[in-house]
Amino acid sequence: MRKIIAVGGVPGTGKTTLFRKFMEGKTWERRSPTKLVETHYCTELDLHILGKYEEGETYAGTDKLGMSCQPNMQKWIESINSNILFEGDRLTNSKFYNFLLELPDTEVKFVILKTSKDILQDRYITRGSNQSEVFLKGRDTKIDNILSNLEYMDTIIEFRNETMQDQAIILSYLEEHLFSV
């Protein structure tokens, strides 16, 4: 049975940093299997990470994909049996999550990262974020809607992501969950 893990959280919760750390020490091949779909594939793990992760980019993952990538992404995911890991705002929505939950022979988990407001503010300052309060509030509402959706309750796991120790715990969860039989 293949496994799909979606990692969500408001901007600044450390999604991209977490994925960059996850990717370290593994061999990744950039792929563009169909229009508007970009992945990094690890043959050894039979794992696709959706999105783009380019050196020096602050915003990566699915946030670097086109706004209309979802229909092509869904068709492509239906056509493969590999494990999938993704993060970012582009695919963090109930329509896409519902699609994932309906896939046959697929176990889906939604990992939601949480960080205190003080740490978020520090991270915004450090990275020079120019995201508006309205945009940030919209992302907060999106995550709250996912967390309150009763259909997702059995698939959601929340993690604090404020320290290197927190990050290590989340990375351990991803490794264990993706690669356990």
**2-175 classified as CATH 3.20.20.70:** no
Q: What does the CA dihedral 158, 164, 165, 166 come to, rounded to 10 degrees?
A: 0
**DSSP-assigned letters across all residues of 7-23:** EE-STTSSHHHHHHHHH
Q: Look at the chain and count its residues.
A: 181
pLDDT mean over 59-74: 85
Name residue 111's beta-bridge partners: 7, 157
pLDDT mean over 21-30: 94
Q: Give the start-to-end residue ranges of the domains of the chain.
A: 2-175
**8 Å CB contact between 92 and 24:** no
pLDDT mean over 117-134: 87
Q: What is the pTM of this model?
A: 0.92
Among 128, 103, 123, 105, smallest CA distance to 113 is for: 123
Top-confidence range, 40-44, 56-60, 62-66: 40-44
Say which amino acid occupies 175.
E
pLDDT tens-digit profile of 128-155?
Answer: 888 888 888 888 899 999 999 999 999 9
